[in-house]
Amino acid sequence: MMSLLGDYTSSKLSVFPKSASSFSGESDWVFHFISIVCVIFFIPIAVALFGFAWKYRKAKGQPADSQVDHNTTLELVWSIGPSFLLVVMFYFGARGFLDMRSIPEGAYNVGVDAYKWGWGMNYGNGVIHPELHVVAGEPTKLTMTSKDVIHSLYIPSFRVKKDIVPGRYNYIWFKAMEPSEKVMTDEECKQLADKDKEDNLSWDYDARQCTPDGYNFYDLYCAEYCGTNHSEMQTVVVVHETQEELDAWIKKYSSRGDEPPAAYGAKLYERRGCKSCHSIDGSRLVGPSYKGSYGTMRNIVGGDQVKVDENYIRESILNPKAKVAIEQGVAYQPVMPSYKGQLSEDDIYSLIEFIKSLGDPSATEPEAPADAEPVSVE
């Protein structure tokens, strides 16, 4: 699980996390300018408020004085004068906004799929990964869409945020300026990953403060409440020093290679958001647990039963609403998005082999047919 806290700040006096993009300086300057102006006006107004309240106080029962005169010049000064500051605030705010909306030609494009409750960063050629990887000093454009509800992509260190709406594409761009440091060797990462696998754990980004590839990172959050596990819809941003380094990382995740299918399926379970809804320890989440499920009979909406085999798993990945599972008389909500066109046949095969490896099917008794009324899957 990711940390629920924001990026670490570079100063105890700063209200912002580390400045790491070309937008940070302008955004922070405007914020500090507006804050200082507000403080400068607030203090004398507050002093005058309490001072005049004390000076012109009346004993209980005495009549209040009426307004008998006014100062036109003073009233014009305190009404019109601050408006010039408002114009200055608007100018710098509008300039920053237009800069953020003007995407440079030739920006490196990454597709972003948001869903409950995870992220899929599409690097092309079938490479989709939950982490966002970009190049330092080069403009990056994110082409974003949602598979279910409204989400919002927010990277505090880059000072960028944009809503992601179902049924349309939204865009955001930034130029990351501070490369991520590789703080752990590949061998150290492999040893920790193997230990996590033995202990049936996921990579702990929060505790280790680095990715499974050994890079430190910037946090990326969903900033729009999107349901039960909204607070866990987090991932990381890694900034590479060169395009060659980024290309090497993408190539590493472009195919299974010689890795055993079940082991690669375990990685896909982590990367493609399966773990958000399907446990591997038998606990009930948004969807059925994978543990000991292969080869068992499963109740589905409509009163039928199906066997959890290769065909059922494949259909559930590509068309998850076709056969909605029922457990203990209660149907799971049909909220899983389709992965059609996003997973290769080898990816699906690897996931099936991973599910097969999670326990002995004979240890699980088949459920009796459900008597519950059919639940609509619309």
CATH number of the domain enclosing 84: 1.10.287
166 Cβ neighbours under 8 A, 6+ residues apart: 145, 146, 147, 148, 149, 150
Whether 288 is covered by a domain: the verdict is: yes
- Do residues 135 and 233 both lie within one domain? yes
Angle at 132 between CA 126 and CA 137, to 5 degrees: 115
Whether 118 is covered by a domain: the verdict is: yes
pLDDT band of residue 370 (cuts 50, 70, 90) is: very low
Q: Give the range of the structural domain holding residue 312, as residue numbers without chain letter.
A: 261-363
pLDDT band of residue 14 (cuts 50, 70, 90) is: low
Compare 241 and 331 and report the one with higher pLDDT: 241
The domain spanning residue 294 has which CATH number? 1.10.760.10
Whether 151 is covered by a domain: the verdict is: yes
Please say whether the beta carbons of 145 and 168 come within 8 A.
yes
pLDDT in tens, 248-291: 998 888 777 667 888 888 878 877 778 778 888 888 888 888 88
Whether 128 is covered by a domain: the verdict is: yes
Whether 22 is covered by a domain: the verdict is: yes
Going 357 to 358 to 360 to 362, the CA torsion angle's sign is: negative
- Do residues 242 and 114 both lie within one domain? yes
The domain spanning residue 115 has which CATH number? 2.60.40.420
Whether 212 is covered by a domain: the verdict is: no
Compare 45 and 331 and report the one with higher pLDDT: 45
* Range in 229-233, 341-345, 370-374 with the lowest mean pLDDT: 370-374
Give the whole-angstrom CA distance, residue 295 versus residue 364: 9
Cα separation of the two ends of the chain: 31
Whether 228 is covered by a domain: the verdict is: yes
pLDDT in tens, 157-189: 999 999 999 989 999 999 999 999 999 888 898
- Do residues 330 and 292 both lie within one domain? yes
- Do residues 43 and 138 both lie within one domain? no
Kindly list the distances between the CA atom of residue 114 and the CA atoms of 1, 144, 152, 166, 167, in Å, as whole numbers in the listed order: 17, 8, 9, 9, 12
The predicted model scores a pTM of 0.70
- Do residues 275 and 344 both lie within one domain? yes
pLDDT band of residue 374 (cuts 50, 70, 90) is: very low
Number of domains present in the structure of the chain? 3
- Do residues 149 and 238 both lie within one domain? yes
